[in-house]
Structure 1
């Protein structure tokens, strides 16, 4: 299955690019995702947790930075995860392109994802729901990324952002909260309804 998505961030191209290729920094921007270990050679171990009604599905896997083109601002990553209970998994190749947004200013990020998915999460693939849910997740990711790059922007000498304290050396971020599949599906259904009413 393939997905083509895009979003914009109100920040310079280089700032967004540097955030996107910093896996440990950008992973918490994706709801339910957490990096647990950097194993070297551009590979990271992590988890993705999704709440499905009264149960929670946890996936463990790896994310490898396969190729980085700093001049063109194109990053190619491969992600692989399996359900910790052995009930399915997912594989994905993700290509991200960062360019200047000519229309609204800021930065445009185009994301092409080629993936396969099995198990509980595969139910989202019915009726195109996986694309709607992915779009909802990308909106949340984009909003979190924009907040992250704004927080990480250089401040004046001695300035600190007490409202968004960063993890210091040796410190770990708070564990990722599970992303609610029900909330994502509800949001995706509302998006579909809005599109129906917008049709002439």
Structure 2
């Protein structure tokens, strides 16, 4: 499954970069995230509770941020297991671009699912993933905007 999109964020590229690399911000913004913490090897361990169609599960996984290009972007590689619900792998490229009045965040991602998740069907999983992304960006924009407003004179 492939996902591609862009999101406008009303903040400078440097501020967006800072918040994209802040574990507490990401934990607050990821829907259903119960735990998000840096591991000893530099990756991030996460626990996310999600419902995918009739399947509700607690997914435990990890994410690694690679090819970091300060204020520009990075690559994310992650995986998670939801027990009987199945297993998922994700790779995503994130790129930031200056636009008038803020920053455009562009992403392309590929996901692979196995187990019951794979049996649900790509159309349903795709619509749920799109909602997850929309919820993430709504919260992220809110967090960044609030911090930018507080920093303004």
User: Which interval holds the TM-score relative to the shorter structure?
Assistant: 0.7 to 0.9
Q: Structure 1 residue 93: deviation in Å?
A: 0.9
Hey, what's the Cα distance between the residues in 2 that align with 1:147 and 1:115? 27
Q: Deviations over 1:5-44 (max 9, x none)?
A: 2111111111111111223321321211233432134311
Tell me the residue number matched to 2:137: 142
Hey, what's the Cα distance between the residues in 2 that align with 1:113 and 1:53? 21
Q: Cα RMSD over matched residues?
A: 2.5
Hey, what's the Cα distance between the residues in 2 that align with 1:22 and 1:124? 33
Runs of 4+ in 1 over 6 A off after TM superposition: none
Greater shift, 74-83 or 33-42, is seen at: 33-42
Tell me the residue number matched to 1:74: 73
Q: Check 1:146–1:118 CA distance in 2 against 1; reply closer, same or farther (3 A cut).
A: same
Tell me the residue number matched to 1:132: 127
TM-score, length-scaled by structure 1: 0.66
Ranges in structure 1 where 5+ consecutive residues have no aligned partner: 157-200
Hey, what's the Cα distance between the residues in 1 that align with 2:35 and 2:67? 19
Tell me the residue number matched to 1:120: 116
Whose strand fraction is larger, Structure 1's or Structure 2's? 2
Matched residues, number: 152
Ranges in structure 2 where 5+ consecutive residues have no aligned partner: none
Q: Structure 1 residue 155: deviation in Å?
A: 3.3
TM-score, length-scaled by structure 2: 0.84
Q: Is the 8 A contact 1:4 1:111 kept in 2?
A: yes
Which structure's CA Rg is the greater one? 1
Q: Structure 1 residue 45: deviation in Å?
A: 0.9
